[in-house]
Amino acid sequence: MVDAETLGRRIAEARGRAGLTQVELAALIPLDRSALAKIERGDRRISALELAKLADAIDMRIEWFIQDAPAAIVSRRNAQEPGAPSPKIDLMVERLTRAVEFVAGQAEHFALPGTPSREMPETNAQAEKLASDARALLGAEGDGPIVGLDEKAASIGLLVFSYDLGIDTADAATVLLRSGGVALINGQRRVGRRRLALAHELGHYLVADEYTVDWRIAEQQNVEQRESFFDRFARALLLPQASIEREWKNLVADSEGELRTAAVRIASAYRVDMTTLARRLNELGLITHGDAGKIRIIRTTRADIIDFDLVVAKDELVPPSLPRNYERAVLGLYRSEVISADRALDLLFDTWDESMLPPLPRRSEGAIWQYV
């Protein structure tokens, strides 16, 4: 159980994230504003009923206030500002982590593999090598496109969730658990960027990256350099050097040197956005910096899809999405009546409604005696 000062601080933090003043929150409970101020300072204890009303008012579960967060490491990823605070994604990834650890503690057959242990890349060459190792670990066939990256990540213990967190929220976040991990992808992004964000998070997961960036004290140069190696890893994972060099040269030759056709076809096949493709082709020396700029602004049209019979990959990591093995474990707990329907829906984060839950088995009249 937490002390009054810690509980008060958590209440103040939750109120701030909800965008409420003390006066506004106090009116919702209801409670006098001065009493709420004392609670937040730790000078007054809050009753169980008051805490329940407060949690309901700001849409939080009570355990967030009275239980310590799971022992985990959070790494925020923001493409615009690496390490910059992103409270919305922090709150959601903590909710996911608590849910996963609860299910793991209750479901007999739901266990995450231990986190793979790989060396932190300190050069671009090491990032490329890590990507090659990762493809083998994920069971990716050959050196072509990787599809179903979220399912492959789950096979090595990284559970991937996708939610639309809005345009102003970071691309992704990762929590490293005692065994396995949780990745949250901002589903507001387009499919290519969602896949890139997951590939980036996978890199951090593979090396069990234990740092948490505080943008106020971090040295920006060091943060950006560190992140650049994971960016290189992500591009190499999605666009492996051998096949990209081979296919790019063939496509350019087929289109008689016309970059647009080659770029549209390879971006579709590998399910990446044009910016990622341009950077990858440039770093492999396949195009000039000027050509990279031209590729970045290319947009695939409906005519392209028809003319080139392109893959339309909009379904990967479409929000909201949960890992299949996690959903299966939650349903198992519900069927065995370890959890109620309300708790099951809560653990499924409202992606299901009660009518979707499977019917429970009918018990015989004598079955009650096993509970007495």
Mean pLDDT, to the nearest integer, of 296-316? 84
Mean pLDDT of the chain: 85
The single residue listed with the structure tokens 């909800």 is 18
> What is residue 77's predicted lDDT score, i.e. its pLDDT?
58
pLDDT digits (tens, 9 = 90+) for 80-120: 555 555 677 888 888 899 899 999 999 988 988 887 888 99
pLDDT band (50, 70, 90) for residue 372: very low
Q: What is the pLDDT of residue 81?
A: 56
Binned at pLDDT 50, 70 and 90, residue 69 comes out as low
Determine the topology of domain 73-238 in CATH.
Arc Repressor Mutant, subunit A (1.10.10)
Check for a shared fold between 4-66 and 73-238. Answer: no
Does position 59 have pLDDT exceeding 70, yes or no? yes
Q: Higher confidence at residue 4 or residue 220?
A: 4
What pLDDT, on a 0 to 100 scale, did the predictor assign at position 211?
A: 39
Per-residue HEC secondary structure of the chain comes to: CCCHHHHHHHHHHHHHHCCCCHHHHHHHCCCCHHHHHHHHHCCCCCCHHHHHHHHHHCCCCCHHHHCCCCCCEEEEECCCCCCCCCHHHHHHHHHHHHHHHHHHHHCCCCCCCCCCCCCCCCCHHHHHHHHHHHHHHHCCCCCCCCCCHHHHHHHCCEEEEEECCCCCCCCEEEEECCCCEEEEEECCCCHHHHHHHHHHHHHHHHCCCCCCCCCCCCCHHHHHHHHHHHHHHHHHHHCCHHHHHHHHHHHHHHCCCCHHHHHHHHHHHHCCCHHHHHHHHHHCCCCCHHHHHHHHCCCCCHHHHHHHCCCCCCCCCCCCECCHHHHHHHHHHHHCCCCCHHHHHHHCCCCCCHHHCCCCCCCCHHHHHHHC
Percent of the chain with pLDDT over 90: 51
Give the fold, CATH level 3, of 4-66.
Answer: 434 Repressor (Amino-terminal Domain) (1.10.260)
The separation between CA 303 and the C-alpha centre of its own chain, rounded to angstroms, equals 33
Output the pTM of the full model. Answer: 0.81
For the chain, the structural domain boundaries read: 4-66, 73-238, 241-308
How much is the CA Rg of the chain, to the nearest whole Å? 24
